[in-house]
Chain A
């Protein structure tokens, strides 16, 4: 019962945060002077294309871009109805992409779940790599295992993601025959799900997952190692050893559990970094996630598309953080319900 109450409370704070984020996103999107349509109208006027102007002005009115900013915001969110039936985010109308001349929902479409997929894969990769390596590095601290993992970890932290992506892609293709670019072979695009498509996606996921996950895994590994070292120096470990517990059990039975908590809590820090990385890597590698759409939208001031992508990305991290908070409560009975420590 307590847990349900905590979960509901946590959900409410998340929604509140999301509301604040939407204001923030809206402000940032509207920072550049002018907007896509007025630029377009000016351009069309200059070249004397009257029909284009009429269409652009229709769109301007439709999406209320001629209103004051606060009204635009409320209409975009869907708190008040738009002038001509634009119902706003809350009712699932994400607006119109002026650059691509199509509804935002159509543009992002598949990209949404592919984004989720890429990020999930990256998070999984981080855990699968960081967990054994971190424990190993702590158990064999100050040996070559420790130094090698530390070195590789540092290198992972220091190499710019996008370059790592390019280099891995090149060599992966050259020596391992990994496919280049995209998240699936071109023939599967727009096709319904099939076994072959899933296979194609999985193969295409290898390099991006590796690239996005490396820096996160490096950081996670270092923290896990530090936590484990703290635990391993405690007297109870010595007691266990004195009583003749085997080396594997000695590590996993108690110290790992203790060191594991921050590991779960860390997902709140990990996710934003993952999402950042995935946007960058998607642009470089041409993955069909929302990363490239965000970049084009931002460059051309395509405000509804950019705002929606930013909102989606924020939502993704917020949900992830919420899940990690809930997991933490389930895993660790010592954590108090209710107000969290800031």
Chain B
């Protein structure tokens, strides 16, 4: 490029009559949509890390039994309210690999609680790939192998033990099975209802739209928790843990759909007028096909992003319900059920480790929030 004396700019490159006019200005945009989204999402550090973390967490769910040294309802009657134990590596300045010191319980009859003394002279190395209590890998392969477990005569309570002498760490990893999936099932229910009602209302309009809209308004104006409570109070007490789990997830999803339905509806109202929709209709496509093949794919990704953002509410909902004793019930293990034990001030003061399950809850909820934010920001790669 050169600058003429009169201030004009002139391109020095020789004129090429064969230049391809259809070449893109920005070659980095010449890729399928999902590649563009992925490229943009990668730049959202927090979202990426959260996504990887959640992926690993869900991946680890079937192996909960393998990673935990105990089974969730296994009681060590001599170790009630055992404080968290450190896994050490150095004994008297000598490296001897991971080990624990054995502990012994004493009844403190003055304060009526258990105190523990640690015997620091006898390091006891942890066992790896050891055979202990039986559990089901993936839920159906019976096995006895644990990644690590306590040596004979000692315990390994990384996060301490609870009221009944159950290992808090093992219970947290088992609890993840229910606490993490409750949101997924709930969101599926909410997705189906939300897309269904929203699509019908937005596509057909008229009185259907009016009815759905009023339903959405009414449900949105009601406080969720009291309704969740009322609905879960209606679950018969003689149901097994599995059915209770499913019905609770469904209840959580039942009240979440209005927000989604609203988004779907307003999107449909505008998309319905597009030419391609009219074209599809004129070619004889039935409403169901137009909705599924032509309308929904348009903003499915947005729906997924907003779904990611509403999973945390369900996880917190499950926790709250179980905490109040109306959600999942023992012997089922979830983070909310565990927190039910930490319900009073005494346990916060004397046995603070019984409240540890709040950490995974906070982390998972934060991760879902960051992931959702990242997805939402990167879904529009052309901006």
- B229–A298 CB distance below 8 A: yes
- B223–A342 CB distance below 8 A: no
Q: Give Cα A17–Cα B216 distance, bound, in whole angstroms.
A: 11
User: Of residues 326 to 352 in B, which have CB atoms within 8 Å of A's CB atoms?
Assistant: 326, 339, 342-343, 345, 348-349
- A163–B221 CB distance below 8 A: no
Name the contact of A166 in the complex, choosing from B226, B262, B348 (C-beta under 8 A): B348
- A306–B230 CB distance below 8 A: yes
Q: Taking the complex as formed, is B358 at the interface, i.e. its CB lies under 8 A from any CB of chain A? A: yes
Q: Taking the complex as formed, is A158 at the interface, i.e. its CB lies under 8 A from any CB of chain B? A: yes
- B221–A167 CB distance below 8 A: no
- B234–A272 CB distance below 8 A: no
- B365–A157 CB distance below 8 A: yes
Chain B nearest CB: distance from A35 CB in Å? 12
- The 0/1 profile, CB within 8 Å of B marked 1, for residues 290-327 of chain A is 00001100110100001001100110011001000000
Q: Taking the complex as formed, is B231 at the interface, i.e. its CB lies under 8 A from any CB of chain A? A: yes
User: Of residues 107 to 135 in B, which have CB atoms within 8 Å of A's CB atoms?
Assistant: none
Q: Give Cα A40–Cα B289 distance, bound, in whole angstroms.
A: 54
- B231–A276 CB distance below 8 A: no
Name the contact of B348 in the complex, choosing from A159, A170, A276 (C-beta under 8 A): A170
Main secondary structure of the interface of B (DSSP, over half): helix
Q: Give Cα A33–Cα B214 distance, bound, in whole angstroms.
A: 29
| Nearest residue, chain B, Cβ from A285 | B345
Q: Give Cα A314–Cα B324 distance, bound, in whole angstroms.
A: 21
- B221–A160 CB distance below 8 A: no
User: Which residues on the B side are within 8 Å of A273 (C-beta)?
Assistant: 223-224
- A20–B218 CB distance below 8 A: yes
Q: Taking the complex as formed, is B43 at the interface, i.e. its CB lies under 8 A from any CB of chain A? A: no
User: Which residues on the B side are within 8 Å of A313 (C-beta)?
Assistant: 223, 226
- A342–B217 CB distance below 8 A: yes
Q: Give Cα A269–Cα B326 distance, bound, in whole angstroms.
A: 25
User: Which residues on the B side are within 8 Å of A309 (C-beta)?
Assistant: 226
User: Of residues 195 to 236 in A, which have CB atoms within 8 Å of B's CB atoms?
Assistant: none
Chain B nearest CB: distance from A185 CB in Å? 17
Main secondary structure of the interface of A (DSSP, over half): helix
Q: Taking the complex as formed, is B280 at the interface, i.e. its CB lies under 8 A from any CB of chain A? A: no
Q: A160-B319, A310-B226 are in contact. Are A155 and B362 (CB under 8 A)?
A: yes
Q: Give Cα A85–Cα B207 distance, bound, in whole angstroms.
A: 40
User: Of residues 15 to 37 in B, which have CB atoms within 8 Å of A's CB atoms?
Assistant: none
- The 0/1 profile, CB within 8 Å of A marked 1, for residues 268-293 of chain B is 00000000000000000000000000
- B324–A283 CB distance below 8 A: yes
Most chain-A CB neighbours within 10 Å: which of B225, B227, B262, B365? B225
- A158–B223 CB distance below 8 A: no
Q: Give Cα A114–Cα B236 distance, bound, in whole angstroms.
A: 33
Chain B nearest CB: distance from A313 CB in Å? 5
Q: A160-B316, A160-B358, A166-B345 are in contact. Are A317 and B222 (CB under 8 A)?
A: yes
11 contacts between A and B (CB under 8 A): A17-B217, A29-B230, A160-B358, A166-B345, A167-B348, A169-B345, A170-B348, A276-B224, A299-B325, A317-B222, A321-B221
Q: Which residues of A contact B (CB under 8 A)?
A: 17, 20-21, 24-25, 28-29, 31-33, 154-155, 157-163, 166-167, 169-170, 180, 268-269, 271-273, 275-277, 279-280, 283-284, 294-295, 298-299, 301, 306, 309-310, 313-314, 317-318, 321, 342
